[in-house]
Structure 1
């Protein structure tokens, strides 16, 4: 079983909560992205810092990584809690550059705050395990915006079912994500905008890319604040995520 809880489903400029998720994998809880609204959304989602055992940051825009420093400070200095931080080997220098300035004073290093797991030594696709769940990371560099290192994820449960998490992406046609969709795919959490733009897929692009046969698997996320999710469901025939959880 994979339980995914949306701490927020909206974009970078939301008045509400950024598009960050907690995936419950056995007894462990993986935080996917830690935007600057995490200080509020984590608690309102029913979690506290010490619940989070693992973290993965898909890319380094502030709505996905801007709350990581504060989260780390609370874990260390208030709760004496040291979660695992999973990082692609070719993203680690970028991530450290962003968070070391605030965390690594007085001789401290990232390893004082996190147990760092460096993933893979090659480009493309790699895997890691959390308990009995397998997680595949899929490189989507330059497909959200040029010059941005970014990563999509695919989760496998004990029964072989899988769930795909796109993170932010514009260039779907070159992403190869459709190649990871199969009969065992139960959900596709897909970045989706109702307004044409240069860095996010539009709902029309998403539906065209995955095809009519996969519409019932799509969970749209990262959309604009003024979208009525239930009206959008009816209009487009896919599901628009709201804050809360879904279990596969």
Structure 2
């Protein structure tokens, strides 16, 4: 995933630059300070108006997931659940107490503590299920920040193009300024559409996929802990949870 993301971002820039060269416009035609301000700052402004501070802060922190998503080894997690189950059968639920302190994931640690405390399986599912749903909901809201930015960016590109054409219309008496003026006006459109479709919308979809995969991993952990509480055989637990791995 990390390599594909990096390659895709590089290819996005290469496609636009190569297209400008093949069309004869040249690289210099892609630069416009005014278009940069209108599209990038305008899109950022719209996002700041729309998004609460905590969600925006979380969205920026999630950017690293594009190249370094949270480690997810479903097979390893399944083995961990089976080992817990075998420990519980040999030593009882209290035998899992050392695992509580050793578990790095806060939600899983909470689930193990509930298990050791003798909480009913349905209560474990309800408590951890609510926590998992809340985390997925918040992460999805953060991922959708980039989706919203991808919707605003083309509109800001159109605004920039209109502003550029307005400037051109004020110089109709000077034909030498018409060509460069019109070309410069449309740079904003290139920025807006390119930013949305080559970066922002793909970024949003990638982050939503990571969030969904991470939530599914936590669902497996919840079901595994609840199955241990129900006293199921370790082999049955493994068979039951194998579907999550695939």
TM-score surpassing 0.5? no
TM bin, normalised by shorter chain, reads under 0.3
More helix by percentage: 2
- TM-score, normalised relative to structure 2: 0.20
The structure whose residues are more often strand, as a share, is 1
Return the index of the structure with the highest Cα Rg.
2
Greater RCO, CA 8 A, separation 6+: 2
**TM-score normalised according to structure 1 size:** 0.20
